């Protein structure tokens, strides 16, 4: 017996519903947390079961057969309603629970009354059937009978279901994102429209106003398709996300390989340390620096590579950097000692850079072995000290005449006073008070000569730079005493303007005396045959950043193009000079962390020397 078109369509709708349901049942088996997919499977199987009951009602030949088919049709309808509630709850993540519980309770009550009152909850009794013609010559059965008063329970349950879905959809819509709004409009809208339409049609059919069969399966199928579309969209989105994650994983792996290649190729030793202080990555340069193999470094605490005497300070630095949010974001450069495997200590330049990933934070440590650099610096310092010593000797050679006079004066005084004392002692009436005065003069002249010799010995002494806190005004006083006679012989007037209570400068006294002595001698030579009354003015003052000494003359100034050039080696304006004086002075001041420069003052030139305040200063 061949099937008519109604049977074919209803069978196709049931098959399509079941197919979609089983697809998402498999999805639920793979991801057990997707309860919306499980609820959808229950809906589709219930729709298929209802389509069979509905087809039986349309093809019923007797009132009893129709009433029985309608009674059993309420079972899948109940399951559909309950599954819709579950689907909306899990998929929307919204909706008032008391509305869901109320709608479910009335649906259970409807099912109970369906089997306990009359022939079903819709009819007290189905007395007859009418056959309404459909398209193609097919007729469908329509019931005639006494409507049941209990069907009001069914309508209340439908209204509660509509209220729950509307409330959940509105809440979802208010979240604002496009996906949530599409879900609320598509799924929520199709459910609400179908239930309202079905409820209205049922009221008209039961009231006898409309003579038509109850056709609900196409409407249920619309809801199923809307839900399937929404769930499939999520599956597609999940697949796209998985593809993106796979691509990101490939890119990340490629980035890691590139990072490792860079780390392997850089000349510095590289360590990657996690927030627990363990080495997670190293390169061959680090293995050569520390004397460990890769397997000996990776997974070990970084303290293994730090000298024991510095570990406590290292922990303090780490704690302070961890507490400072800015320090975690910037690169920090320090000079430290690294501990070799054999126990020796290697001077290194250390650069730290904080790195953060999604899961953890790291510190990228770059180490440069500066052993050779330190040796070169010590060699350069020795050479600088030797050149500075030769320059001092040369400068003192120029002052030898005035210095000899400076020493000769107290010696002549000592001789004269000693001879006078001899004469007084040769007398019979010795005046001891006069002898005491003569002896006091001899002691004073001896101290005077001794101070000159002491200053000369200090300047002539050869040795490394010894820095300590200095009173810069005392340095000026010493140079003034050394050059006093030479300035008198040159007819140069020297004036000083020394600011009292200046902060200490951390430096080497002999080297700073040498710089100031050289500047005073240059000022004197710049004024020879230029002015009739040469004057040199030495000034000390406090600046915003530290202390400054300036030596000013009236020698006519320096050409603007030579203000920086005069500090270059072998550049001189003297007839017999070799051009190393100012170059050595700048080297000394640079070694003190200061700055030396020249400028014109209108009548001559002023050379300024600035020192920044040191942590060692008082």
Supply the DSSP string of 5-50, one letter for each residue.
HHHHHHHHHHHHHHHHHHHHHHHHHH-TT-HHHHHHHHHHHHHHHH
| Alpha-carbon torsion (183, 189, 195, 201), positive or negative | negative
**Residue 509 pLDDT exceeds 90:** no
Give phi and psi for 570, each to the nearest 5: 65, 25
Output the six-digit token pair for 460. 């002539």
| Predicted local confidence at residue 83, as pLDDT | 93
Structure tokens given for 169: 């959809």
* Exposure string over 151-164, b if 16+ CB within 10 A, otherwise e: bebbebbbebbbbb
The predicted pLDDT at position 256 comes to 66
Q: What is the pLDDT of residues 38-69, one digit of tens each?
A: 998 999 999 999 999 888 988 888 999 988 99
Q: pTM above 0.75?
A: no
Between the two ends of the chain, the Cα-to-Cα distance in Å is 115
Residues 299, 278: Cα–Cα separation, whole Å: 6
- Percent pLDDT > 90 in the chain is 13
> For the segment 443-486, what is each residue's pLDDT rounded down to a tens digit?
776 766 666 566 555 555 555 667 888 888 988 888 888 777 77
- Helix, coil or strand: residue 601: coil
Q: What is the pLDDT of residues 63-87, one digit of tens each?
A: 999 889 989 999 999 999 999 999 9
**Which residues neighbour 288 within 8 Å (Cβ) at sequence distance 6 or greater?**
269
Would you report the helix, strand and coil content of the chain in percent, each value rounded to 5? 60, 15, 25
* Domains and their CATH numbers in the chain: 5-234 (1.20.1070), 266-369 (3.30.450.20), 378-612 (3.30.565.10)
Name the pLDDT band for 331 (thresholds 50, 70, 90): very low
| pLDDT in the model for residue 231 | 81
């Amino acid at each position: 017996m061949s099937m008519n078109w109604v049977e074919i369509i209803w069978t196709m709708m049931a098959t399509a519903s079941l197919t979609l349901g089983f697809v998402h049942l498999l999805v639920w088996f793979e991801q057990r947390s997707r309860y919306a997919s499980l609820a959808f499977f229950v809906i589709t199987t219930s729709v298929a079961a209802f389509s069979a009951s509905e087809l039986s009602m349309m093809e019923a030949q007797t009132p009893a057969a129709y009433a029985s088919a309608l009674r059993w049709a309420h079972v899948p309808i109940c399951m559909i309603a309950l599954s819709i509630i579950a689907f909306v709850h899990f998929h929307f993540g919204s909706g008032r629970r008391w509305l869901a519980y109320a709608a479910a309770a009335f649906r259970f009550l409807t099912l109970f009354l369906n089997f306990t009152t009359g022939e079903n909850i819709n009819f007290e009794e189905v007395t007859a059937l009418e056959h309404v013609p459909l398209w193609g010559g097919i007729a469908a059965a329509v019931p005639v009978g006494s409507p049941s008063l209990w069907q009001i329970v069914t309508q209340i349950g439908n209204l509660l279901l509509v209220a729950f879905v509307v409330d959940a959809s509105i809440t979802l819509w208010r979240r604002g994102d496009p996906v949530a709004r599409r879900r609320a409009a598509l799924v929520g809208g199709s459910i609400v429209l179908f239930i309202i339409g079905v409820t209205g049609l049922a009221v008209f059919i039961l009231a006898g106003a409309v003579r038509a069969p109850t056709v609900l399966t196409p409407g249920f199928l619309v809801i199923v398709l809307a839900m399937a579309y929404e769930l499939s969209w999520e599956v597609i989105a999940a697949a796209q996300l998985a593809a993106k994650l796979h691509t990101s994983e490939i890119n990340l792996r490629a980035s890691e390989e590139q990072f490792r290649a860079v780390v392997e190729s850089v000349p510095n030793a590289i360590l990657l340390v996690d927030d627990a202080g363990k080495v997670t990555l190293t390169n061959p340069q680090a293995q050569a620096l520390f004397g460990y193999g890769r397997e000996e470094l990776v997974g070990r605490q970084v303290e293994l590579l730090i000298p024991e005497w510095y570990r406590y300070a290292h922990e303090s630095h780490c704690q302070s950097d961890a507490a400072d949010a800015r320090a975690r974001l910037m690169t920090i450069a320090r000079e430290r000692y690294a501990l070799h495997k054999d126990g020796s200590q290697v001077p290194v330049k250390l650069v730290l850079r904080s790195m953060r990933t999604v899961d953890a934070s790291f510190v990228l440590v770059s180490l440069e072995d500066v052993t050779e650099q330190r040796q070169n610096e010590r060699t350069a310092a020795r050479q600088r000290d030797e050149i500075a010593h030769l320059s001092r000797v040369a400068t003192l050679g120029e002052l030898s005449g005035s210095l000899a006079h400076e020493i000769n004066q107290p010696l002549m005084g000592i001789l004269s006073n000693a001879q006078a004392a001899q004469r007084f002692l040769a007398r019979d009436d010795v005046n001891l008070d006069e002898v005491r005065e003569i002896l006091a003069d001899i002691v004073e002249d001896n101290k005077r000569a001794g101070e000159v010799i002491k200053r000369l010995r200090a300047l002539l002494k050869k040795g490394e730079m010894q820095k300590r806190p200095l009173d810069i005004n005392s340095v000026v006083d010493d140079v003034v005493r050394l050059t006093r006679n030479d300035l008198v012989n040159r007819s140069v007037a020297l004036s000083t303007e020394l600011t009292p209570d200046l902060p200490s400068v951390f430096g080497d006294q002999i080297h700073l005396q040498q710089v100031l002595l050289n500047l005073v001698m240059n000022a004197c030579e710049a004024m020879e045959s230029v002015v009739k009354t040469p004057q040199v003015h030495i000034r000390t003052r406090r600046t915003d950043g530290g202390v400054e000494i300036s030596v000013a003359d009236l020698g006519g100034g320096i050409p603007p193009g030579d203000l920086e050039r005069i500090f270059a080696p072998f550049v001189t304006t003297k007839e017999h000079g070799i051009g190393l004086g100012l170059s050595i002075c700048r080297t000394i001041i640079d070694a003190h962390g200061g700055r030396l420069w020249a400028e014109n003052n209108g009548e001559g030139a002023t050379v300024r020397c600035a020192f920044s305040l040191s942590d060692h200063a008082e």
